[in-house]
Chains A and B, each alone.
Chain A
Amino acid sequence: MDEVVRLRLQLFGALRDHGSEVELVVPRGADTAAVRGALAEALAIDPALLAISALANDDEVLDESATFECDGVLAVLPPVCGG
């Protein structure tokens, strides 16, 4: 059993300045804070912006306590401003 998981992260809004998506490899069971940290390290994203960016899937914004046990696709959502 792999000790890591592969996450494909789709980037939106201001985060698109760093590309539209990135693949990260993180330890199995990593939490949202760990994913943010790995993303900041991979793309040199402003930590202040990442700290207020939510992780989500197609159905919901993930709880901060969420952990990642298998490969998957996530969206990283900076502060929103529709309308």
Chain B
Amino acid sequence: MSRIEVVVRSESLSLDEAQRFCADVAHGAFASFVGNVRDRNLGRDVVAVSYDVFEPLALKRLRTICEETRDAHGPSVHLFVSHRKGRVAVGEASVVIGVSTPHRAESFAACRAVIEALKHEAPIWKQEHYVDGESEWVKGHSLCQHAEK
């Protein structure tokens, strides 16, 4: 039976937590994705990123993404998704995804599906903070039905 856990938190994220949640002796594969804040974007030196989250809907949408991924990649898949909120320094993880399945192909595919959907569908925003003291909201993907995708 599939297990799903989605978390949004201000504290550091843990890949170990994802692996522990997904542990299953029937699963021979565990795939993960860790997104880290990098020190440069579009030619500007970044010191940190602040994540803004509409938490009630983000948790629901992330769970739905996981359920859709389970439906597409097998009923026994375990999925763990954690995302930071608030200010995250360069080098720290902003998102951790863990997926386990009986075989590796499903784990790789499901992990990729979750991060791509998260980036396009979860109500989360990031504001980059630069070395020169300026800050800027990063452009993203519209959730409007009428917007050009």
Residues of A whose CB lies within 8 Å of any CB of B are 10, 12-14, 16-17, 51-54, 56-61, 63-64, 75, 77-83
- Check A75/B54 contact, CB under 8 A, given A80-B120, A82-B124: yes
Closest CB-CB distance, A18 to chain B, in whole Å? 12
Q: Is the interface of B mostly helix, strand, loop or mixed?
A: mixed
Contact of A80 among B56, B94, B95, B143 (CB under 8 A): B143
Q: How many residues of B contact A (CB 8 A)?
A: 34
What is the number of contacts between chain A and chain B, taking CB atoms within 8 Å? 97
Say yes or no for B123: interface residue by CB 8 A criterion. yes
Contact of A16 among B51, B52, B57 (CB under 8 A): B52
Residues of B whose CB lies within 8 Å of any CB of A are 35, 51-54, 56-58, 60, 83, 94-95, 115, 118-127, 137-147
Contact of A82 among B83, B127, B142 (CB under 8 A): B83
B147 cross-chain contacts in A, Cβ below 8 A? 51-52, 79
Q: How far is the CA of A52 from the CA of B149 in the complex (A)?
A: 11
A selection of 21 A-B contacts at a CB cut-off of 8 Å is: A10-B54, A12-B125, A13-B52, A14-B125, A52-B147, A54-B143, A54-B144, A56-B57, A57-B57, A60-B57, A64-B145, A77-B123, A78-B140, A79-B142, A79-B147, A80-B140, A81-B119, A82-B83, A82-B126, A83-B94, A83-B119
